[in-house]
Amino acid sequence: MSYYRTFEKAVHKVSRSAMYIAAAALLVMMVLTSFDVVGRYIFNAPVKGTQDLIEFGLVLICFSGLGYLTSERHHMRADMLNSVLTRRGNAILGAACFIFSLPFAVFLSWQTCVEAIKIASGNYVSATISVHLGPFYIFTGLGLILLCVEIVLDIVRYIEEASGKQFAEGDEKGLGL
């Protein structure tokens, strides 16, 4: 197996692991919201800081899920062109879409990392429970970097498909077209 395929599998494994973080955050958010609703309406005592914790959970869900969604090709796509194009045409279209979106993802990652460094080095805390915001900004930057890496891997995959090269042995996922 080539170094590229080994790297690709490692990145996909990291993306999948990040998705488990998102699943855990979602579970915590559901339990926390349930306790907050029960506490608020039955005991007249809501859970302090629920809104802050839900916002942190949303950060974890959104930005850990981006890389995974890209690796599994679960993004929304318009089927108008995909249904009339050949497999090679779909691969070219997929590569073009990802090539177009990569500069935006890189710019977003870069600016988020710049902001994360500023927030992490400052004394920025949440409004209600005074949790430091730095780790969540850093996690956002890392999630966006993972998205960029997954986009590059998909560009290579689409170019391979468009050029007629075979995928690595044991790769059943293909392009998902």
Question: Mean of the pLDDT values across residues 29-58?
Answer: 93
pLDDT per residue over 41-51, tens digit each?
999 999 999 99
The more confident residue out of 174 and 118 is 118
Does residue 104 carry a pLDDT above 80?
Answer: yes
Q: Which of 56-70, 75-89, 95-109, 140-154 has the lowest mean pLDDT?
A: 75-89
Task: State pTM to two decimals.
Answer: 0.84
Report the percentage of the chain scoring pLDDT > 70: 91
Does residue 166 carry a pLDDT above 80?
Answer: no
| Confidence label for 75 from pLDDT (cuts 50, 70 and 90) | confident
| Confidence label for 169 from pLDDT (cuts 50, 70 and 90) | very low
pLDDT computed for residue 82 by the predictor? 75
pLDDT computed for residue 177 by the predictor? 46
Report the percentage of the chain scoring pLDDT > 90: 66
Distance CA 171, CA 68 (A): 17
Tokens of 1: 């197996």
Does residue 129 carry a pLDDT above 80?
Answer: yes
Does residue 140 carry a pLDDT above 90?
Answer: yes
pLDDT computed for residue 13 by the predictor? 93
